[in-house]
Amino acid sequence: MVDPAVRADGDAEGFGPPAEAGSNGGAIHRLVLDHYQAVYRYAFRLTGSVCDAEDLTQNTFLIAQQKLYQLREPEKTDRWLFAILRSCYLKNRRRHRPVAAVNLELNVDELPEESVRQAEQSGVDEERLQRALNELADEFKLILLMFYFEDLSYKEIAARLQVKMGTVMSRLSRAKGWLRKSLLSLESDSLARRSVSRPLASPRAGNSGE
């Protein structure tokens, strides 16, 4: 999965030469101070670990410093940093072998009103949320975080990841279904442990819409 905003080495498309590279000390410091919290939070949700999130945040800003000349729309700085972050994450992630997906999803129409009300009033179990995210394959997790964390539409996600809109919709729906199931089912932990493979471990297995 490629993010067209930032390639694997952090290069953005369609931007000019590094005319101002090397003279960006103050700018990068401002960038860190303004955005490190959002970047760290995103990194934590992606990695599920404080240490990994800090490393990912550090790498993101190191690349941002090198590529600062590529930033032409300051109002979209956070999106630019998130794209770098995703790129760093994908570059360094551990590879998992594709395995068959397990149907452990709760459909959108099965969402109980009582659970929704409870989530609105007292939130959801954050540890369980992070566990559920950790168990998702990256291809699902990235789309889910782009939807929830960046508040992107399925079209924007498809454009940024350069995948078909149908693929995004399918993965998004399945990932949301997994999240609903994980958060609402009292037995989700044991179910997850019982399954030999990670749920939604690979978009190549049992995935539609591509």
Partner 1 sequence: MSVDDPRLREQLDACRPDPQDRSVEDFPELAAELQTNATLRDTLARSRRWDAALQEVMQRVPVPQDLAMRLLSGLPDGPADAGLLNVVADVAVSSPAIPASGEATLSQTRRRTWLMTAGAALAVTAAVVLVLAYVLPDNRTAVTQRSLEREVPRWMASVDPQRWRLAASPPQAFPVSPVLPLAAHRWQALPQTITQDPVVCYDLTPRGQRPVLLFVMRTPRRVDLPTRPARPTLDTQMLSVGVWRDQNRKDLVYTLAVEGNAQRFEHLIRPQIASVSVPRPSVRTQSFGKT
Site residues (CB under 8 A) for partner 1?
25-26, 28-30, 32-33, 36-37, 40-41, 44-45, 48-50, 54, 57-58, 61-62, 65, 107-111, 113, 115-116, 119-120, 123-124, 126-127, 129-130, 145, 147-149, 151, 153-155, 168-170, 172-173, 176-177, 179-180, 208-209
Q: At residue 56, what are phi and psi to the nearest 5 degrees? A: -65, -40
What is the nearest approach in angstroms of partner 1 to the Cβ of residue 122?
10
Of the pair 113, 187, the CB lying nearest partner 1 is at 113
What gap in Å lies between CA 124 and CA 116, rounded to an integer? 9
Of the pair 13, 74, the CB lying nearest partner 1 is at 74
User: In terms of Cα–Cα distance, which of 105, 168, 171 is closest to 140?
Assistant: 171
What is the nearest approach in angstroms of partner 1 to the Cβ of residue 47?
11
Of the pair 110, 189, the CB lying nearest partner 1 is at 110
What is the nearest approach in angstroms of partner 1 to the Cβ of residue 97?
27
What is the nearest approach in angstroms of partner 1 to the Cβ of residue 103?
12
What gap in Å lies between CA 118 and CA 120, rounded to an integer? 5
What is the nearest approach in angstroms of partner 1 to the Cβ of residue 202?
19
User: In terms of Cα–Cα distance, which of 44, 13, 59 is closest to 145?
Assistant: 44
Of the pair 159, 209, the CB lying nearest partner 1 is at 209
Looking from the CA of 65 toward its CB, the CA atoms found within 13 Å total: 14
What gap in Å lies between CA 94 and CA 76, rounded to an integer? 29
Of the pair 59, 70, the CB lying nearest partner 1 is at 59
User: In terms of Cα–Cα distance, which of 129, 130, 167 is closest to 49?
Assistant: 130
Of the pair 4, 22, the CB lying nearest partner 1 is at 22
Q: Exposed, middle or buried, 195 (CB in 10 Å: 0-12/13-18/19+)?
A: middle
Q: Which amino acid is at 142?
A: L
What is the nearest approach in angstroms of partner 1 to the Cβ of residue 95?
24
